[in-house]
């Protein structure tokens, strides 16, 4: 008998890639110590190479770190980084140079949490194909803290306005999750803690139906910036019934025709140093190899 497949399991919706998280940093040197030397990530060697901005490659995604007053994402960014012991050793090595800042790191059962010098938190998970897809390095999710009572409205906003599948999670419906690409999500977790004011940080996605969401956002007065033919932005996620803002975070929305869509990114192997150098091991292979095939 011919095998049957759940074809809907492979549907992505309108968003096909979560490309970057952007937060301003006031000191490019300290940012280098945290993101490159500590986390073991790679500064993009081709773009933004001056001292006013740097792009940090994480598999097929990035952090963008322009110079400016510090911005702190309300929540955390989830990373997949293989090699917990090596990660902990790198973070411990940069700790003395980051003394006096907000830098910290701690071990938990299924992740290492590291805090940048200005308070941005990242949770570093070991590769797990069932949870994060077939990657050894990447950004599988960004999670935001949102006010109590907003998750349901957020989960309704993304399908209706952006054409992006979303669902309520966590049993009690206190977490909304929107699908940004293959094994990539924006998550919104309700909290009763007081949240700081929005400070201008943003996330960026690529979508296939570029004009439909634009028209729906424009009809509601939500387009916040017109960048170029391939890109626009919006900030407010609103209640569809009354237009009430539920949460604010800038979305940089790009078309799949954008010149930088799926631009190849360099990822170095942080285990390769001048003392341990071995030919053929400069690159970090961000995707799992055939020996880690998941059987699908």
Q: Tell me if 66 is assigned to some domain.
A: yes
Is 283 within a domain? no
| CA triple 142-146-152, angle to 5 deg | 95
Q: Is 132 strand, coil or helix?
A: helix
Give the C-alpha separation, 243 to 236, whole Å: 10
Number of domains within the chain: 1
**Do the domain assignments include residue 223?**
yes
Measured distance CA(296)–CA(287) in Å, rounded: 16
**pTM: predicted TM-score of the whole model, two decimal places:** 0.95
Residue 117 burial (CB < 10 Å; 0-12/13-18/19+)? buried
The CATH number assigned to the domain holding 186 equals 3.10.180.10
**Cα separation, 254 vs 168, whole angstroms:** 26
Q: Tell me whether residue 56 is in a domain.
A: yes
Q: Is residue 285 part of a domain?
A: no
Q: Which domain holds residue 144?
A: 10-263
Vertex 264 angle, CA 19 and 117, to 5°: 50
Tens of pLDDT, residue by residue, the chain (296 residues) = 788 898 888 888 999 999 999 999 999 999 999 999 999 999 999 999 999 999 999 999 999 999 999 999 999 999 999 999 999 999 999 999 999 999 999 999 999 999 999 999 999 999 999 999 999 999 999 999 999 999 999 999 999 999 999 999 988 889 999 999 999 999 999 999 999 999 999 999 999 999 999 999 999 999 999 999 999 999 999 999 999 999 999 999 999 999 999 999 999 999 898 888 999 899 988 999 887 765 55
Within-domain flag for 195: yes
Q: Could you give the 3-state DSSP secondary structure of residue 199?
A: coil
- Let me know if residue 142 belongs to a domain: yes
Rounded CA-CA distance 178/161 in Å is: 12
Residue 2 lies in a domain: no
SS3 2: coil
């Amino acid at each position: 008998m011919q095998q049957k497949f759940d074809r809907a399991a492979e549907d992505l919706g309108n968003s096909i890639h979560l490309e970057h998280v952007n937060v301003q940093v006031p000191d490019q040197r300290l940012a280098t110590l945290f993101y490159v030397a500590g986390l073991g990530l790679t500064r993009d060697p081709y773009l933004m190479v001056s001292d006013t901005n740097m792009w940090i490659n994480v598999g097929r995604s990035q952090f963008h770190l322009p110079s400016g007053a510090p911005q702190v994402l309300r929540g955390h960014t989830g990373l997949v980084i293989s090699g917990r012991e090596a990660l902990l050793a790198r973070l411990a090595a940069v700790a003395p140079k980051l003394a006096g800042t907000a830098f910290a790191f701690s071990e938990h059962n299924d992740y290492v949490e590291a805090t940048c010098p200005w308070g941005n938190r990242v949770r570093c998970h070991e590769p797990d194909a069932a949870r994060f897809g077939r990657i050894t390095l990447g950004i599988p999710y960004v999670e935001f803290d949102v006010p109590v009572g907003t998750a349901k409205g957020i989960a309704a906003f993304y399908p209706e306005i952006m054409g992006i599948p979303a669902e309520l999670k966590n049993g009690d419906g206190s977490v909304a999750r929107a699908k940004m690409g293959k094994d990539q999500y924006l998550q919104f977790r309700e909290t009763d803690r007081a949240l700081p004011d929005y400070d201008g940080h943003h996330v960026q996605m690529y979508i296939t139906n570029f004009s439909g969401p634009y028209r729906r956002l424009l009809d509601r007065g939500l387009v916040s910036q017109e960048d170029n033919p391939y890109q626009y932005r919006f900030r407010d996620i609103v209640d569809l019934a009354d237009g009430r803002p539920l949460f604010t975070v800038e979305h940089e929305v790009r078309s799949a025709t954008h010149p930088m869509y799926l631009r190849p990114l360099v990822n170095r192997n942080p285990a390769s140093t001048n003392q341990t150098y071995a030919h053929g091991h400069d690159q970090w292979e961000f995707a799992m190899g055939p020996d880690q095939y998941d059987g699908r």
